[in-house]
Structure 1
Amino acid sequence: MNLDLRFAVGFALGGGLATVSVLLFRVTLKMAPKRPHYIAIVTAAAVVGAAVAVWPPSLIAAGVLLVMLGVPAAAVDVVEHRVPDRLTAPLAAGMTATLVTAALIAGSATSLTMALAGAAVWGGVLLVSFLFTGDPGPGDVKLAPSLGMLLGSLGWQWLLTGIVASYLLAALFAGLGLLAKRWSLRDGRLPLAPPMLAATVLSATIAALSG
């Protein structure tokens, strides 16, 4: 299957999985969702699905988890400035199960070790920051190990790329929010889950395309 076709199939499948993403968003959100929220989630799910379609087969299941659980978690963070445990907990459990299974099937102890190291590194970085500064929020800290596990399985360079990219995208995200008057400097904490998710998907996709 050529690259364009894989993107198209992934886009379609991601859009289909958006039904699950929207449902989880609705049952997790405390306020009443609005139509723009649904449009954003379906679009994000389709885009992530397109990216996941070019990942190695061993990571497809992990990518599906990001579509179904990561996308609504990021959406809740945008709307309510929190990343719910009801989404991060099953994401962590599912990511662990899929990556451990993939490593066992491939007989790659190195991949498994790197995945666990990735979870510890990204989760540890945010935990230390939270304990000393109060930022980012606890939900972001709980999201980080799942994303770190995925990127860690690809290698140290992609883990570090994802972590650095998440902060760069967060700065861009914050700037756009300020320009659009979606947030103000007085608001304090800005949503970090969306740039974390975007950086993870982008890094994993570049890793896959670069071989």
Structure 2
Amino acid sequence: MDPLLSIDLRVAVGFALCGLVAALLFRATLRTSPKRLHYVAIVAATVILGAATAAWPPSMIAAGALLAVCAVPAAAVDVVEHRVPDRLTAPLAAGMAIALVAAALLTDSMPSLTMALVGAVVWGGVLFVSFVLTGDPGPGDVKLAPSLGMLLGWLGWKWLLAGIVGSYLLAALFAGLGLLAKRWTLRDGRMPLAPPMLAATVLSATIAALSG
């Protein structure tokens, strides 16, 4: 068997298991009753994330799996209940730090690890300042940001900034679509930010990997 095909198959199987775990964690952290559509969305998001991660360097696959297991259900809870559970953001942050430290040791990429820490501080700091000054975004989004910042910081300043700016652009797009679909109104005052944050992170990381 072609070694690349073998790796892709392992990634596919691994993310299939991640999708199952993500669905279970979503159900465990949701305060209301889930609907079948919620599970379909989680499976679809995990499949897309798995396909994207297959293009990432092998040292980053563990980070991608963490996004599937923790960030995907966190984003789903945010859509349903407008909150991001600490029970998902805390293990995501710890796991991301461990995964990137291991990647740095295996690939001798200590400068990338330093940038990952900077990325966590920058994205987390930007949202924290915004939360203190305006009350937006929510505290769950602030706690999610360092994990995503770590991943994009590992790739460099360009991709970190792309992820931060991209998250706001996608948020504006999702808000417009939500208004058109009457999913929410301007009176709501807040829309889920975790999904566009996650989408922008995965998109930036994938473009970075494909561009070399």
TM norm structure 1 = 0.95
How much does 1:105 deviate?
2.0
Bigger mean CA deviation after superposition, 9-18 or 114-123 = 9-18
Query: 2:32 corresponds to which residue?
Result: 31
Query: 2:186 corresponds to which residue?
Result: 185
For residues 5 and 108 of structure 1, do their structure 2 counterparts lie closer, same or farther at Cα, with a shift above 3 Å needed?
Answer: closer
How much does 1:6 deviate?
7.2
For residues 4 and 205 of structure 1, do their structure 2 counterparts lie closer, same or farther at Cα, with a shift above 3 Å needed?
Answer: farther
Query: 1:51 corresponds to which residue?
Result: 52
SS in structure 2 at match of 1:153: helix
Query: 2:134 corresponds to which residue?
Result: 133
State the alpha-carbon separation in 1 of the partners of residues 20 and 109 from structure 2: 34
For residues 8 and 108 of structure 1, do their structure 2 counterparts lie closer, same or farther at Cα, with a shift above 3 Å needed?
Answer: closer
Alignment length (residue pairs) = 211
How much does 1:126 deviate?
0.3
Matches within 5 A, 1:53-202: 53-202=54-203
Task: Report percent identity of matched pairs.
Answer: 72
| 5+ long unaligned stretches in structure 1 | none
- Contact 1:70-1:197 at 8 Å conserved across structures: yes
How much does 1:46 deviate?
0.6
Amino acid in the other structure paired with 1:74: A
For residues 122 and 35 of structure 1, do their structure 2 counterparts lie closer, same or farther at Cα, with a shift above 3 Å needed?
Answer: same
| 5+ long unaligned stretches in structure 2 | none
Amino acid in the other structure paired with 1:96: A
- Contact 1:13-1:46 at 8 Å conserved across structures: no
For residues 210 and 103 of structure 1, do their structure 2 counterparts lie closer, same or farther at Cα, with a shift above 3 Å needed?
Answer: same
Amino acid in the other structure paired with 2:91: P
TM norm structure 2 = 0.95
